[in-house]
Amino acid sequence: MSETALYRPALADNQANAEVLARPGIKVTRAGPLARFVFRGDAAAAGKAGGAFGAALPVAPLAANAVGARAALWQGPDEWLLLARPEADGEQAVDMLARQLAGEVAAALGDTPHSLVDVSERNVALLVEGAGAADLLNAHVFLDLSPEAFPVGTATRTLFTKAEITLWRLGDEAFAIEVWRSFAPYVEGLLIEG
Amino acid sequence: MLLIHCPCCGVDRPEIEFRHGGEAHIARPADPSALDDHQWADFLYMRSNPKGVTAERWRHVHGCGRFFNALRDTVSDRFLAVYRTGEPRPDLDAASTGMEGGK
């Protein structure tokens, strides 16, 4: 299972079925809603933002820092994807958490130049788990997903056939795909197809 | 598939993650209004297009999003060197003796 407390499967009453694919050795699940931000700024801004957000923004390329129900994913030298899950379930709790975090980060940054964009509604997450996870992903992701080349904790933007995704390795046999909402049916369809 | 080394991410990535950005080291004229039409057209359109080693801009658009420069041999399609934007073009002897990014 995933080694972060961030992702939870989507609730049954929220989406008709959280399960996308279940075969021996492979499971693909839709994750529940999260508060998401794209943060851009220099190292000084990132340092302040990490303190307010609750998870330090990693400066090493392709790194992800998960702390409890918060995570900061390196996307570029001045760009991070921030993920946070509220305590309570439901879209309303996500919305409240997003507003609260946006306020706290903005307050901590003050006059430091930065940009913080709420993209909670833009992305959805898919969890790909099981012994066959890397093989299934490699049908559409053109990266070396062996543990040496893509160790646990690596997060990167890449392509899933034609759709841009952020791929994050949560465990030896667990990956999260952060994908734009409108691309999700395409990605899910290709995962089901194998 | 052609692998390109991104100097920002520090990893080799497949070519489809990148986008070509034209010839590198072309400086915009400091005072465009002082140029005549021919000089302006030279800046806008005229490129060296050599057969052999050329310096190009590339963007890791489906990765870190950063522009960088690369030396590529247009005959063999081999990347001889990659270097960050703003750095001078590496000299070819250094590039051909196995700098990072040679694929």
Give me the CATH number covering residue A189.
3.30.1360.120
Q: Which two tokens stand for residue A54?
A: 């609750």
Same domain (yes/no): A132, A113: no
Among residues A91, A119, A147, the one where a domain terminates is: A119
Residue B100, pLDDT above cutoff 50? no
pLDDT in tens, B37-89: 999 999 999 999 999 999 999 999 999 999 999 999 999 999 999 999 999 99
The structural domain count of chain A equals 2
Residue A91: per-residue pLDDT: 84
- Residue A75 in contact with partner chain B when CB distance is under 8 A: yes
Residue A11: per-residue pLDDT: 67
Neighbour-count burial of A113, counting CB atoms closer than 10 A to its CB (0-12 exposed, 13-18 middle, 19+ buried): exposed
- Decide: helix, strand or coil at residue B18: coil
Rg of chain A's alpha carbons, rounded to an integer?
16
Instruction: Phi first, then psi: give them for residue B40, nearest 5 degrees.
Output: -65, -40
CA distance A29 to A11: 11
Residue A5: per-residue pLDDT: 79
Give me the CATH number covering residue A43.
3.30.70.1520
- Residue B11 in contact with partner chain A when CB distance is under 8 A: yes
CA distance B21 to B18: 9
Q: Which two tokens stand for residue A65?
A: 């820092």
The two beta strands, A79-84 and A35-40, are: antiparallel
Same domain (yes/no): A156, A174: yes
Among residues A85, A100, A119, the one where a domain terminates is: A119
Q: Which two tokens stand for residue A93?
A: 């709790």
Residue B96, pLDDT above cutoff 70? no
Residue range of the domain that includes A150: 1-33+122-194
pLDDT in tens, A65-91: 999 999 999 999 999 999 999 988 888
Beta bridge partners of B72: B54, B79
Side chain identity at residue B96, one-letter code: S
Structure ipTM = 0.86
pLDDT in tens, A108-156: 999 999 999 999 999 999 999 999 999 999 999 999 999 999 999 999 9
Among residues A69, A90, A119, the one where a domain terminates is: A119
CA distance A140 to A179: 14
Side chain identity at residue A48, one-letter code: K
Please check whether residue B65 is in contact with residue B18, taking contact to mean a CB–CB distance below 8 angstroms.
Answer: no
CA distance A91 to A68: 20
Name the pLDDT band for A10 (thresholds 50, 70, 90). Answer: confident
With residue A162 as reference, give the H or E element that holds it: none
B16 contacts A77? CB cut-off 8 A:
no
Looking only at Cα atoms, what is the longest distance across chain A? 53
Residue B58: per-residue pLDDT: 97
CA distance B76 to A4: 45
Judging contacts by C-beta atoms under 8 Å, the chain B residues touching residue A76 are 8, 63-66
Same domain (yes/no): A39, A91: yes
Residue A2, pLDDT above cutoff 50? no
A79 contacts B17? CB cut-off 8 A:
no
Same domain (yes/no): A169, A191: yes
Same domain (yes/no): A131, A63: no
Residue B23 to chain A, least CA–CA distance (Å): 23
Residue B97 to chain A, least CA–CA distance (Å): 25
Judging contacts by C-beta atoms under 8 Å, the chain A residues touching residue B19 are none
Same domain (yes/no): A29, A84: no
Contacts of A154 (CB under 8 A, 6+ apart): A62, A63, A64, A168, A169
CA distance A66 to A8: 14
Judging contacts by C-beta atoms under 8 Å, the chain B residues touching residue A159 are 16-17, 62
CA distance A63 to A71: 11
CA distance B19 to B44: 20
Name the pLDDT band for A3 (thresholds 50, 70, 90). Answer: low
Residue A90: per-residue pLDDT: 81
CA distance B56 to B26: 10
Domain coordinates in residue numbering, chain B: 3-96
Per CATH, domain B3-96 is 3.40.50.300: no
Q: What is each CA distance from A186 to A23, A41, A106, A133, A165, in whole angstroms?
A: 19, 32, 35, 18, 12
Q: Quick one: closest CA in B to A141, which residue?
A: B14
Using N-to-C axis directions, what is the helix angle for A43-53 and A91-109, rounded to 10°? 130
